[in-house]
């Protein structure tokens, strides 16, 4: 993990960090909870403490939900690198979005591409996105996905320099809105509105298709067994009707035969008496 971190010791748009970092690997879940303290979310895979330049990660006993260790470590190191360069200037949405962007967490987009309900509720503004990080794990997952998408879209505004100018102007002015204006020629509110519209256009149809596919799958899961049971019941009823018809036909034939034989017997008896 350390070798991988050294090979990629710079982060998009930022100067190479130089502060010393302490990385603590918790041997089990109990130590992890004890080390991160009572205020960190229970679903957290790792925690960075920028003021202390310290990272606490889950160890080899961590569940699969803890993520890929190399990617998780780079995510947390990005938090520290951003704090080293800009201090407490970045809001939560940018801090988390930048860490996910630096770690290449493209899988975050899957949340947007599979949740039509999320998009139909209306995307939050970047300022209101702050509250989503303090919800449950589901809402926080949506917040991380939206934050990642916002930072990635910001970087895409300048294909050549990405976030480099933004960070330079931000450090100099202390204002994200002013930095966005100078770096990309757009206001932060203007970017916010464009980002929400673009996200809806990009993922709305995918999310609708995914939700319809899921709904169809659930319907199939419940309807197919009912359909099979009904077909079996109909086959049993049909077989019973066929058997009843055949029995009725046999009874009718036997009755007609008996009548015919009875009539012949009477004719024969009458002829015998006459003779």
Q: pLDDT tens for the chain, 275 residues: list them.
A: 899 999 999 999 999 999 999 999 999 888 998 998 887 776 678 999 999 999 999 888 887 777 889 999 999 999 999 999 999 999 999 999 999 999 988 766 665 555 654 555 667 888 888 888 877 777 778 888 889 999 999 999 999 999 999 999 999 999 999 999 999 999 999 999 988 888 877 765 544 444 444 344 445 555 656 656 667 776 777 677 767 777 777 777 777 667 766 666 656 656 556 65
Distance CA 47, CA 24 (A): 10
SS3 of residue 55 by DSSP = strand
Cβ atoms within 10 A of the Cβ of 240, count? 10
Distance CA 174, CA 234 (A): 75
pLDDT at position 272: 59
For residue 12, give the nearest of 112, 148, 172, 173 by alpha carbon: 148
What's the sign of the alpha-carbon dihedral 90, 91, 96, 101?
Answer: negative
Cβ atoms within 10 A of the Cβ of 182, count? 16
Segment (H or E) for 58: strand 54-58
Distance CA 116, CA 139 (A): 14
**Burial degree of 206 (CB within 10 A; 0-12, 13-18, 19+):** middle
What's the sign of the alpha-carbon dihedral 121, 124, 129, 131?
Answer: negative
Distance CA 77, CA 104 (A): 13
What's the sign of the alpha-carbon dihedral 212, 214, 218, 221?
Answer: positive
Distance CA 47, CA 53 (A): 11
For residue 148, give the nearest of 133, 134, 170, 158 by alpha carbon: 133
pLDDT at position 227: 57
């Amino acid at each position: 993990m350390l070798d991988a971190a050294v090979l990629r010791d710079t982060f998009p748009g930022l100067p190479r960090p130089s502060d010393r970092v302490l990385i603590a690997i918790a041997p089990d879940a109990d130590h992890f909870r004890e080390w991160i303290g009572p205020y960190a979310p229970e679903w957290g895979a790792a925690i960075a403490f920028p003021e202390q330049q310290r990272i606490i990660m889950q160890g080899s006993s961590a569940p699969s939900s803890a993520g890929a260790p190399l990617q998780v470590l780079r995510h947390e190191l990005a938090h520290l690198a951003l704090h080293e360069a800009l201090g407490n200037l970045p809001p939560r949405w940018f801090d988390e979005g930048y860490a996910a962007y630096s770690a290449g967490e493209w899988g975050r987009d899957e949340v947007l591409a599979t949740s039509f309900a999320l998009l139909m509720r209306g995307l939050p503004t970047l300022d209101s996105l702050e509250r989503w990080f303090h919800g449950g794990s589901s809402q926080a997952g949506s917040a991380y996905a939206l934050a990642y998408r916002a930072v990635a879209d910001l970087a895409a505004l300048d294909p050549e320099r990405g976030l480099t100018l933004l960070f330079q102007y931000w450090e100099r002015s202390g204002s994200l809105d002013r930095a966005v204006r100078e770096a990309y020629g757009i206001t932060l509110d203007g970017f916010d509105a464009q980002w929400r519209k673009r996200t809806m256009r990009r993922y709305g149809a995918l999310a609708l298709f995914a939700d319809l596919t899921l709904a169809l799958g659930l319907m199939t899961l419940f309807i197919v067994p009912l359909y099979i049971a009904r077909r079996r019941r109909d086959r049993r009823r049909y077989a019973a009707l066929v058997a009843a018809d055949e029995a009725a036909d046999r009874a009718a034939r036997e009755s007609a035969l008996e009548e015919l034989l009875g009539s012949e017997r009477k004719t024969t008896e009458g002829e015998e008496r006459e003779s």
